[in-house]
Chains A and B, each alone.
Chain A
Amino acid sequence: MIARVAENCFWLGRYLERAESTARVLGVTHNLALDAELPPEQCWRPVLITAGEEPSFLERFGADALEDPAQVEAYMTWDDANLSSVVCSARALRENARSIRDVVSLDAWEAINDLYLYLRGERGRADWVDHRQGFYTRVRSGTQLALGLMRSTMLHDLGLDFIWLGVMLERAAQTARLLDVHHHALAGAPGAVESAVWLTILRACSGFEPFMKRARGQVGGRAVAGFLLLEAQFPRSIRYCVHAAHSRLNAIRPPERVELPGAESAARLRALDAWVAKLGADAMDAGRAHDVLTRVVDEIAGVCMELGRELFGVAETSAPPAAATVAAPAVAPVQSQTQSSADAPPAPAVGSESPQG
């Protein structure tokens, strides 16, 4: 597969997952804020932290704005300057898909385009104002439809492997950041409010029902955190996602084909997978959770950097990707809308140019 195309696939997967995850976190938090009897700031600040957007938000709107849920929600949904916002993720998703229209199936493309047009048009705005939960549901079903269509209408070859690798690494990092934001709560005594928060975290990962089937009991911090970190059969747990990412990378670059590029990426992801596989329930002990989660996020960022260097040929181009840090999700090196046609290289139209000998 062409290296640039592989990179677009990978970022398509990441943005797809990010759009969905952000929409889900916002919807769940919106719901929590209605009756949790928590100050708005305690509900909404974690959303900004998880997205790595707290500093930019505070700088632009000031600390008082944290008391205004509508402002945080609008910032995380519509803000064109916030690259983690739902609308920016959907746009980057579409730009990546549009760059590889020959790879993405027509059905999947239409789903992606439709989501973008919904967010850009009046329907999206109207739903957001009149029917907030419906809006978030619509965004999530749009991304899920795209993901499902890719799996059911595209060749299961390298293109889909790279998309899925992106989805899984993004999802693992999202779950890790979400847990990390609340790691201090692991030390606290369980109470009604704490349970509401942990339930919210579960729901933010679509994990409530699966958790109840496994835990069959009290919703406590240790149990929820352990589930989201370790449950091998839950498709949003860190263990599941890292392992799934590792198998995709093995399909992309079979371990026995040592002559192929990608040795360092594969080695790092293999090590992370092995390390996460060995973690026990004590990994979510109050004193340890933050370090474990930070290591997960850092290692994923490292793997992404190696992928860029070894497989996407980023080193050969002028724009290296911004590496992820503990707090901030990585942003694709290419295809953001800020690069309008005005900035694009002069794209020749038919007959508008002529050679000079």
Chain B
Amino acid sequence: MSQDVRSSETLLPSRQSLFARYPALPATYDELIDERGEPRPEFRRVVEFLGQQTPEQVRRSQALADLALLAQGVTFSVYADSRGSEKIFPFDLVPRMVSKTDWAHLDRGLGQRVRALSAFLDDVYGEGRILKAEAGAARVPEALVRGSKGFVPSLVGVKPAGGVRIHISGIDLIRDSGGVYRVLEDNLRTPSGVSYVIENRLVMKRVLAAAFDQTRVHRVDHYPTRLGDALRSVAPDEAGDPSVVLLTPGPFNSAYFEHSFLARMMGIELVQAADLFVSDDRVFVRTTRGPRRVHVIYRRIDDAYLDPEAFRPDSLLGVRGLMRAWAAGHVTLANAPGNGVADDKAIYPYVPQMVRFYLGEEPVLEQVRTFLCDRDDDRAYVIDHLSELVVKAVDEAGGYGMLMGPEASTAQLAEFRDRIVAEPRRYIAQHRVELSSCPTWDNEAGRMAPRRVDLRPYIVTGREGPWVLPGGLTRVALIPGSYVVNSSQGGGSKDTWVQK
């Protein structure tokens, strides 16, 4: 009791803090507020500063932030929306903070994970050592790899120019009820979202500048420079002054803002597939002065649409002959085609053993226990405990193709049971993790409320090895009680402050 009085005195010199009587979620780790309702010590100054704002001030800052994002056209398109309109990615101005100690741990673990996954890709498109390793601890079942939709058999034996396959990765982390960071999934194909990391920071500086006086935060705006350097470093050896382009599906793609943003920030050209052509296994861009050679393509188009010759003969999209040019080593594709096998959700349970097998190290990062419906024992368990589990299709993203067992109706449970029995290889299941929460502004209630978050850090790999951007995209489930943070399903984002 006396403790409460004292704490509210320190928190509230003049008025009630916006964090007072914070309605913490049960059995959930909160990023900023501890179990006693106090700010976590390393974030105390920022939390107290924010707590002293009036609801009107926060509303005004929030409105300014929304306006700034709209004015700059920081928008995404929503496929389900038939008007094809653009929306801003909802932004919450309470930062998600990561302490220096936690970040050192994540930085080490993420770098390690990317190195292991890279070695795995080199291996499955090379000798396949891990497929032939001793049964048990090390081996990844060959059938699982060959059965992955992301595995492209025709690419076996191809060594990418520059030697890197995972130039850009986004590894999704969550934090369990004990505050332990765990990898939820890897994104090794065309991970998106980094532009929001940079834009969110810009907006925060604009609308809440004084909050930056309360702590020291790593900058994030050098990401494009680091990415540009990495891309140039992996150009084919024959390129003297490498020409780098960003290949986008075009302005109607949901991530077009990000494509144009990164191209502008790196000072490289934004191209569409029709702008490129291949001649003599070399890639050229059509210009007003004739063809010009291209050495590195940061492609934001999925494998399936890269080259109709290699993947989809019926597709009008893509660049005919691109895969031949890549296999011949005359162009670098970032990321390399075929990476999907390594971020397949059914391969994910094997990543810790990849770390041990290829690097001879113990994994730094924890994962989430995963049941592979393809395994008989696991499937039996999943079927029996469906209402307690989260089931995911191995080849879907964006929160689609997913069953949240604890919230599902009987009909939904029955539907997924049938689907799992029909196509066991397509599904995995995990116990629902009580994702950590972070205080988030509730505009209607005029106070701070806990909303669940995840974190996607970005890792850039050039010839020198992986580099982790000190920051990341914190996605937040804005709907009260929701566990789904995807922007397509009511998610928003926050600025992520990694402390120095």
Measured CB to CB, the residues of A under 8 A from B are 1-6, 95, 98-102, 106, 109-110, 113-114, 117, 158, 252-253, 260-262, 311-313, 317, 335, 339-342, 344-345, 347-357
Question: Across the interface, do B254 and A6 meet the contact criterion of CB distance under 8 Å?
Answer: no
Within the complex, what minimum Cβ distance (angstroms) separates B82 from chain A? 5
Is B499 an interface position by the 8 A CB rule?
no
Is the beta-carbon distance between A344 and B397 smaller than 8 angstroms? no
Q: Is there contact, CB below 8 Å, between B71 and A114? A: yes
List A contacts of B246 (CB < 8 A).
102
Question: Hey, which chain B residues are within 8 Å of A317, CB to CB?
Answer: 274
Q: A350-B189, A351-B395, A357-B154 are in contact. Are A100 and B270 (CB under 8 A)?
A: yes
Are B288 and A348 neighbours in the complex by a CB distance under 8 Å? no
Contact of B73 among A99, A113, A158, A348 (CB under 8 A): A113
Q: Mark B73-106, 1 if CB is under 8 A from A, else 0.
A: 1000101011110000000000000000000000
Indicate if the CB atoms of B288 and A252 lie closer than 8 Å. Answer: yes
Q: Identify 19 residue pairs between A and B in the complex whose beta-carbon atoms are under 8 Å apart, listed by A's number.
A: A1-B287, A2-B269, A3-B288, A4-B286, A5-B269, A5-B275, A101-B257, A102-B260, A113-B73, A262-B288, A311-B288, A350-B189, A350-B191, A350-B192, A353-B305, A354-B304, A355-B150, A355-B340, A356-B304
Q: Determine whether the beta carbon of A355 is less than 8 Å from that of B317.
A: no
B439 at the binding interface (Cβ < 8 Å): no
Asked, given contacts A2-B287, A3-B288, whether A354 binds B395 with beta carbons under 8 Å apart, the answer is yes
Q: How many Cβ-Cβ contacts under 8 Å join chain A to chain B? A: 158
Q: Check if A347 sits within 8 Å of B288, measured CB to CB.
A: no
Candidates A6, A102, A110, A345; contact of B72 at CB < 8 Å: A110
Q: Is the CB of B395 within 8 A of A347?
A: no
A313 to chain B, nearest CB (A): 6
Give chain B residues whose Cβ lies under 8 Å from the Cβ of A340.
Answer: 82-84, 252
- B400 — which chain A residues lie within 8 A by C-beta? 352
B118 is an interface residue with CB less than 8 A from chain A: no
Shortest beta-carbon contacts, A-B, top 10: A101-B260, A340-B84, A341-B84, A344-B252, A354-B149, A351-B397, A102-B263, A348-B302, A347-B253, A353-B304
In the complex, whether B38 has a CB less than 8 A from a CB of chain A is no
- B216 in contact (CB, < 8 A): no
Nearest CB of chain A from residue B392's CB, rounded to whole Å: 11
Contacts from B to A (Cβ < 8 Å): 70-73, 77, 79, 81-84, 149-150, 152-154, 187, 189-192, 246, 249-257, 260-261, 263-264, 268-272, 274-275, 285-290, 301-305, 310-312, 316-317, 337-338, 340, 343, 395-398, 400
Closest to B317 in A: A345
Contact B302 A352 (CB under 8 A): yes
Most A CB atoms within 10 A — which of B81, B252, B311, B316? Answer: B252
Residues on A with C-beta less than 8 A from B152 are 355, 357
Collect the chain A residues with CB atoms within 8 Å of residue B71's CB: 110, 113-114, 117
Taking CB atoms, residues of chain A closer than 8 Å to B73 are: 98, 101, 109-110, 113
Bound together, the chains give a CA A254 to CA B330 distance in angstroms of 32
Determine the residue in chain B with the shortest Cβ distance to A307.
B288
- CA distance in complex: A341, B286 (Å): 26
Q: How far is the CA of A354 from the CA of B337 in the complex (A)?
A: 10
CA–CA, A313 and B272, complex, Å: 14
Most buried by B among A2, A340, A351: A351
Give the complex CA separation of A130 and B152 in angstroms: 63
Most-contacted residue by chain A among B263, B302, B303 (CB, 10 A): B302
Give chain A nearest CB distance to B276 CB in angstroms. 9
Task: Please name all residues of chain B whose beta carbon is closer than 8 Å to the beta carbon of A260 when the two chains form the complex.
Answer: 289-290
The CA of A317 and the CA of B449, in the complex, are separated in Å by 53
Q: Which residues of A contact B256 (CB under 8 A)?
A: 98
The interface residues of chain B lying within 8 Å CB-to-CB of A262 are 288
In the complex, chain A residues whose CB is within 8 Å of the CB of B343: 351
The reply to whether A345 and B274 form a contact with Cβ atoms under 8 Å apart is no
The answer to whether A4 touches B251, judged by C-beta atoms less than 8 angstroms apart, is no
Given contacts A101-B270, A341-B84, A349-B397, contact A354 B286 (CB under 8 A): no
